[in-house]
């Protein structure tokens, strides 16, 4: 991308040089951060457009400032495409990102101190689902469900029992580190039984939902939130979908409740990404993300690594390094030296601390966008196993890094 940034190169060589180095890093490494991806050039161009200059507080047809002919058009287009993609009644495309989208749902649907029940952070849930250090745990009476200790998957009967006991005003499903299909219908049943609002947060899997390779919560949940930049492959942004019943409460919570002017450049870029997601190519991408994750999971298992839940149904694999005698942090640092970028991650019932947990989390969205297929997955598992066998040997790690760079040359980034 930097090759087109002539004005920046002239005006600010210091920032230009940083961006150029980041381009090279994104090209020369195997990016397995499960929440990351590569957007298309079209999405990047819209993100960098002059819409960043425009203030447009309010909603299409009802703005507070003049000059909205084109912001209205582009926001309506983003909304229409999102509705087509997910089949939602109502879409708000203004949340600045995934966390503000969740914050808006809390603000719209609850009073401070109301009870919520969400997946605990240590079991794969997100901070904004009621974890103590986040607004969602601080201002609400937040309770957490875990996964089953043996299967490491959600025990829906246990969640139902907990919900009957707690009677939360809102039940939250969706996760940041859960490698299995989420049964949204079962969650909806539980929510109905205890008369709770159901919030489904599909930040990680929305690209898989849009591509038809994961069931959609839209028909069964009251409210669905997502980011647009993870598997959905759009700009960094957020979105809320809901039934008509909750539309005005959600819209008012975003503006004027929590935000001022929407970031119209991001909204235009989201419209572009939704247009891409409506094509058959995107369905192939989504299927390949899941196929790649399965092949990578099998290959890692063949290398003797233990996977949480024993495998994956989606884009994400959680590796438990305990049997290897390694901590997640040391493993992630060594892998980065070898050109493989992951994050350390807690595993269910982790005995180690969150900053140096027992696992690493990996995802296949970004590498699939680069065109890597199943042979590439086996190669990546091999790079990873070699690096994990040599975490204290910098020479070996830098040798692997050279191999990784050569391997990456066959897969140009957008």
Ligand X SMILES: *Cc1c(COP(=O)(O)O)cnc(C)c1O
- Residue 322 to residues 116, 122, 177, 217, Cα–Cα distance (Å): 33, 16, 18, 34
Please choose, from the candidates 224, 206, 203, 225, the residue with its C-alpha nearest in 3D space to the C-alpha of residue 214.
Answer: 206
Please choose, from the candidates 255, 254, 196, 193, the residue with its C-alpha nearest in 3D space to the C-alpha of residue 63.
Answer: 255
Backbone angles phi, psi at 186, to 5 degrees: -65, -40
Catalytic residue check, 353: no
| Contact status, residue 308 vs residue 320, Cβ threshold 8 Å | yes
Sheet holding 141-145, edge to edge: 90-92, 238-242, 223-227, 197-201, 170-173, 115-119, 141-145
Backbone angles phi, psi at 363, to 5 degrees: -140, 155
Exactly one of 45, 55, 336, 403 is catalytic; name it.
55
Q: Is 234 in the site for ligand X (CB under 6 A)?
A: no
Q: Is 227 in the site for ligand X (CB under 6 A)?
A: yes
| Strand-pair category, 30-31 with 115-119 | unpaired
Tell me how far apart the alpha carbons of residues 5 and 7 are, in angstroms, rounded to a whole number.
Answer: 6
Catalytic residue check, 236: yes
In whole angstroms, the minimum distance from the beta carbon of 198 to ligand X comes to 15
Question: CB under 6 A: which stretch of 92-100, 138-146, 306-314, 345-353 binds ligand X?
Answer: 92-100
| Strand-pair category, 58-59 with 62-63 | antiparallel
Catalytic residue check, 65: no
Q: Contacting ligand X (CB under 6 A), which of 77, 203, 267, 347? A: 203
245 annotated as a binding-site residue = yes
Q: Is 126 in the site for ligand X (CB under 6 A)?
A: yes
Please choose, from the candidates 375, 335, 330, the residue with its C-alpha nearest in 3D space to the C-alpha of residue 352.
Answer: 330
Q: Which residue lies nearer to ligand X by CB, 35 or 47?
A: 35
Q: Contacting ligand X (CB under 6 A), which of 94, 162, 176, 265? A: 176
Catalytic residue check, 374: no
Terminal Cα distance for the chain, rounded: 8
Catalytic residue check, 14: no
Q: Contacting ligand X (CB under 6 A), which of 29, 56, 94, 128? A: 128
Tell me how far apart the alpha carbons of residues 125 and 119 are, in angstroms, rounded to a whole number.
Answer: 5
127 annotated as a binding-site residue = yes
- Write the binding mask 238 to 277 for ligand X: x where contact by CB under 6 A, - elsewhere: x---------------------------------------
Exactly one of 31, 54, 230, 361 is catalytic; name it.
230
Q: Is 37 in the site for ligand X (CB under 6 A)?
A: no
In whole angstroms, the minimum distance from the beta carbon of 256 to ligand X comes to 21
Question: CB under 6 A: which stretch of 58-66, 97-105, 263-271, 343-351 binds ligand X?
Answer: 97-105
Exactly one of 63, 83, 236, 378 is catalytic; name it.
236
| Contact status, residue 168 vs residue 307, Cβ threshold 8 Å | no
Exactly one of 28, 36, 57, 114 is catalytic; name it.
57
Task: Quote the Cα angle for 352-310-350, to 5°.
Answer: 10
Q: Is 201 in the site for ligand X (CB under 6 A)?
A: yes
Tell me how far apart the alpha carbons of residues 163 and 171 are, in angstroms, rounded to a whole number.
Answer: 8
Q: Which residue lies nearer to ligand X by CB, 341 or 381?
A: 341
User: Which residues sit at the interface with ligand X, rule CB under 6 A?
Assistant: 35, 97-99, 102, 126, 128, 174-176, 201, 203-204, 227, 238
Indicate which residues carry an active-site annotation. Answer: 55, 57, 201, 227, 230, 236
Q: Return binding residues.
A: 121, 125-127, 245
Q: Return binding residues for (6S)-5,6,7,8-tetrahydrofolate.
A: 121, 125-127, 245
């Amino acid at each position: 991308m930097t090759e087109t940034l002539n004005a920046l190169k002239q005006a600010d060589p210091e920032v230009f040089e940083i961006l150029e180095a980041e381009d090279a890093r994104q090209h020369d490494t195997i990016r397995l951060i499960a929440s990351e991806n590569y957007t298309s050039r079209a999405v990047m161009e819209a993100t960098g457009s002059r819409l960043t200059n425009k203030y447009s507080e309010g909603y299409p047809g009802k703005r507070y400032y003049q000059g909205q002919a084109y912001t209205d058009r582009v926001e309506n287009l983003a909304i229409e495409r999102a509705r087509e993609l997910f089949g939602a009644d109502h879409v708000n495309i203004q949340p600045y990102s995934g966390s503000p989208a969740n914050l808006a749902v809390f603000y719209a649907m609850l009073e401070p101190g109301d009870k919520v029940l969400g997946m605990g952070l240590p079991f794969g849930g997100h901070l904004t689902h009621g974890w103590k250090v986040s607004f969602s745990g601080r201002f609400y009476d937040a309770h957490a469900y875990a996964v089953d200790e043996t299967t490491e998957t959600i025990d829906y009967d246990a969640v139902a029992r907990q919900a009957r006991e707690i009677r939360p005003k809102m039940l939250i499903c969706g996760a940041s580190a859960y490698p299995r299909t989420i049964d949204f219908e079962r969650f909806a049943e539980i929510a109905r039984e205890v008369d709770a609002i159901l919030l489904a947060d599909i930040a990680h899997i929305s690209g898989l939902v849009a591509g038809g390779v994961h069931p959609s919560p839209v028909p069964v949940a009251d409210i669905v939130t997502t980011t647009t930049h993870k598997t959905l492959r759009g700009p960094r942004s957020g979105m809320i979908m809901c039934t008509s019943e909750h539309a005005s409460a959600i819209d008012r919570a975003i503006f004027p409740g929590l935000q001022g002017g929407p970031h119209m450049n991001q909204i235009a870029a989201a419209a572009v990404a939704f247009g891409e997601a409506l094509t058959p190519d995107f369905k192939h991408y989504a299927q390949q993300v899941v196929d790649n994750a399965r092949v990578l999971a099998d290959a890692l298992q063949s290398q003797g690594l233990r996977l949480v839940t024993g495998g994956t149904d989606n884009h994400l694999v959680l590796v438990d390094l305990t049997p290897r005698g390694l901590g997640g942090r040391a493993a992630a640092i060594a892998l980065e030296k070898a050109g493989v970028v992951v994050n350390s991650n807690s595993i269910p019932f982790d005995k180690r601390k969150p900053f140096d947990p027992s696992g690493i989390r990996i995802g296949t969205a970004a590498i699939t966008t680069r065109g890597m297929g199943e042979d590439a997955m086996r190669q990546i598992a091999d790079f990873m196993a070699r690096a994990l066998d040599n975490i204290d040997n910098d020479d070996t790690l830098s040798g692997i890094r050279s191999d990784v760079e050569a391997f990456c040359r066959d897969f140009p980034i957008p």
